[in-house]
A and B are shown apart, each in its own frame.
Chain A
Amino acid sequence: GAVVSQHPSRVICKSGTSVKIECRSLDFQATTMFWYRQFPKQSLMLMATSNEGSKATYEQGVEKDKFLINHASLTLSTLTVTSAHPEDSSFYICSAAGLRSYNEQFFGPGTRLTVL
């Protein structure tokens, strides 16, 4: 199957700082990338959908000014958590679609963010 990477795998930051998470599709061009968040013992929650070269579409309740998404190429999307606070601590997972169909998503390994 297709490979999607995320960097970093873990990050710890101080409250008020910004953190950037990268998501790359390594062996295919992803027309669409998705960002999810997962709190402990909960399911994945879709945060936003991004298409290369256009603005991301955010799910209801997700602050677009706090979670900045850039999708500059068909293989790279970034999520920046701005002015992070402890309640932003979570497991952030990206996925990429487009290898065979829009609906078939390949997921990255996730990034564990801890805000102190």
Chain B
Amino acid sequence: DAKTTQPPSMDCAEGRAANLPCNHSTISGNEYVYWYRQIHSQGPQYIIHGLKNNETNEMASLIITEDRKSSTLILPHATLRDTAVYYCIVPRNQFYFGTGTSLTVIP
């Protein structure tokens, strides 16, 4: 995997947007950025992935910078159920999970 760097933890107020950054400065031209999250004691859940254009689905939006060296996952209206560890991954045939960002949504 290309190395990714994420802040270890973040808080977000319920109902507000959660913006989770990821740095992947060594990404190559044809490598995708994937985002997963893991709620305590469960398997990781796929959220979204992208190459260079911004992407949106029913769960989140993914904003990738023009130079592709960083990205931001946006949860538009965070709920308590979004409390989880969020992983940004740039796979090269396998997934190597970093430490991720532990997001806590506060009532």
A contacts, CB < 8 Å to B: 1, 4, 6, 34, 36, 43-46, 49, 91, 93, 95, 102-110, 112
From B49, B94, B98, contact of A43 by CB (8 A)? B98
- Which chain B residue shows the least CB distance to A4? B43
A43–B99 CB distance below 8 A: yes
B97–A44 CB distance below 8 A: yes
Note all chain A residues with C-beta closer than 8 A to B96.
46
B interface secondary structure, majority: loop
B contacts, CB < 8 Å to A: 32, 34, 36, 38, 41-46, 49, 87, 91, 93-100
Note all chain B residues with C-beta closer than 8 A to A106.
46
Note all chain A residues with C-beta closer than 8 A to B38.
44
A46–B43 CB distance below 8 A: no
A110–B91 CB distance below 8 A: no
- Which chain B residue shows the least CB distance to A36? B97
B95–A110 CB distance below 8 A: no
Given contacts A43-B100, A103-B34, contact A108 B43 (CB under 8 A): yes
Tell which of A34, A44, A105 has the most Cβ of chain B within 10 Å. A44
Note all chain A residues with C-beta closer than 8 A to B45.
107
A109–B91 CB distance below 8 A: no
B41–A110 CB distance below 8 A: yes
From B41, B94, B100, contact of A34 by CB (8 A)? B94
From A1, A46, A107, contact of B94 by CB (8 A)? A46
- Which chain A residue shows the least CB distance to B99? A43
A103–B32 CB distance below 8 A: yes
Note all chain B residues with C-beta closer than 8 A to A104.
34, 46, 49
What would 28 A/B residue contacts be, using CB atoms closer than 8 Å? A1-B46, A6-B43, A34-B95, A36-B97, A43-B97, A43-B99, A43-B100, A44-B44, A45-B97, A46-B96, A46-B97, A93-B44, A95-B43, A95-B44, A102-B93, A103-B32, A103-B34, A103-B93, A104-B49, A105-B95, A106-B46, A107-B36, A107-B43, A107-B44, A108-B43, A109-B43, A110-B41, A112-B41
